[in-house]
Amino acid sequence: MSQIGFIGLGIMGTPMAGHLIKAGHELYLFSIPSVPQALVDAGGRSCTNGKEVAQKAEIIILMVPDTPNVRSALFDSNGIAEGLTPGKIVVDMSSISPIETKEFARRVNDLGCQYLDAPVSGGEVGAKNATLSIMVGGSETTFEKVKPVFELMGKNITLVGNNGDGQTAKVANQIIVALTIEAVGEALLFAAKAGADPAKVRTALMGGFASSKILEVHGDRMIKRTFAPGFRIELHQKDLNLALSTARALGLSLPNTATAQELFNACAAHGGKVWDHSAMVRALELMANFEIGQQAE
């Protein structure tokens, strides 16, 4: 049994922490606005701030929305850094800036502690089913220490490289996901407007080279109009902002990523920032003045 801290108990963090409690680990918990009562009832211990979590835990996991939230959780007054002592491990499983991650890791290392960036892919379903893909940046020694904990939350666990490389892998993942959602949306909208049954087109495509998890899951959402998240558009916007800002810093152009972001922006402008990211298709439908599932004239 390990003493593990978990900070950030939202739609992803709550089931992830739950798996660790179920496995018999001692969990110290902090979240804004509050720790879910279900985790306390399961045996988790609520703490008043990040400092207290870090004082009591050997491994401190963060699962918060964005780069400023990680910075605040780590370094604000009563934050994690104030409770660290040499030898402890900080694991950031949020999806944040690769560039700032390297600075966070340096500051934690200067305190005599180790740092892993370990963002995840798989969404709420993966968090609940403990089937997340986990992309890790940090030292191999630290990775091996934490790997048994990762295995309680995910299935595809990869040490990508040094600090920041896990976050880079996650940004790359989000680029692929966004562009594939856009491609699936265009294809199904094209098929529906041309008069074909989009559900049958999707079934046909699932047997060929165009098959993908996004065609399977999000194509079905587009056809059935089930846009409750899932993974909210506003969170994918944040990830694509990371991609585009990092690309600028690298002197790199990501033209189709920028297009996908503009489609998300259009959805948000129509009240859709909390829609599932598969609802990107709604922006395409607005431009076409036609919805998938509508009868073509």
Catalytic residue numbers read 170
Question: Largest Cα–Cα distance of the chain, in whole Å?
Answer: 69
In terms of Cα–Cα distance, which of 55, 58, 42, 43 is closest to 4?
Answer: 58
In terms of Cα–Cα distance, which of 79, 93, 239 is closest to 153?
Answer: 93
In terms of Cα–Cα distance, which of 202, 199, 181, 174 is closest to 280?
Answer: 181
Identify the three-state secondary structure at position 115: strand
Residue 123 vs residues 94, 158, 276: alpha-carbon distances, Å? 12, 17, 11
Q: Where are the beta strands (DSSP E) in the chain?
A: 3-7, 26-30, 45-46, 59-62, 89-92, 114-117, 120-121, 132-137, 154-161
